[in-house]
Amino acid sequence: MIVGEKMAGNEFQVSKAKILLAKGDITEQGTDAIVNAANSTLMGGGGVDGAIHRKGGPKILEECKRMRATEWPDGLPTGRAIITSGGNLKAKHVIHTVGPVWRGGIHGEPELLAEAYLNSLRLAVSNGLKTIAFPSISTGAYRYPIEKASRIALTTVKEFLEKEDKLDKVVFVLFTRHDLEIYKKAAKEII
């Protein structure tokens, strides 16, 4: 029930923008861009990355290959982001970013995770986009503890929206009810 969901705290206002927390599949989102939790090769993989390339079709991979051949011959560094078209996806664009692999939290992981969110948001704005959907970057194959990662994700987005009024909506698409609850708890404390 939509009203109930809202009352249960899935929607948050920051300046003129909304942050929404939803359970679902990021590849189904109709936002201007969806964010891919990619790796440095930009050549695809499992999890979100696999799902985006499977559903989006070969055009996205071709653009990624072009990026590798031109701007990023050694791969996209952790924390950086690039944008491609959305291929066959509902979203017109995919922003590919690389989150950090969790190695205990003392190798710059918090800063790099914040950079991944921040550079994705900047790229959305510089491309004139209004709405963007994020998965929970780094909390799958890269093993970043989701309680910690959710706080960084929400703090980074909130602080960005407080300074920058060009985005209308940021959606966090969580894959499981459990992950959604963790983000909701963090959002209630942070936003």
Report the interface residues with ligand AR6, using CB under 6 A.
25-27, 37-39, 45-49, 51, 99, 135-142, 173, 175, 179
Q: How far is the CB of 55 from ligand AR6 (least distance, A)?
A: 9
Half-sphere exposure of 131 (CA within 13 A, CB side): 13
Identify which of residues 48 and 82 has a Cβ nearer to ligand AR6 in the complex: 48
| Nearest distance, CB of residue 94 and ligand AR6, angstroms | 13
Angstrom distance (rounded) from CA 105 to CA 91:
33
DSSP H helix total and E strand total for the chain:
6, 7
Nearer to ligand AR6, 27 or 120 (CB): 27
Residues marked active site are found at: 49
Between 87 and 99, name the residue whose CB sits nearer to ligand AR6. Answer: 99
- The answer to whether 131 and 148 are in contact (CB under 8 A) is no
Minimum distance of ligand AR6 from residue 32's CB (angstroms): 17
- Residues whose CB falls within 8 Å of the CB of residue 40, separated by 6 or more in sequence, listed in order: 75, 76, 77, 78, 98
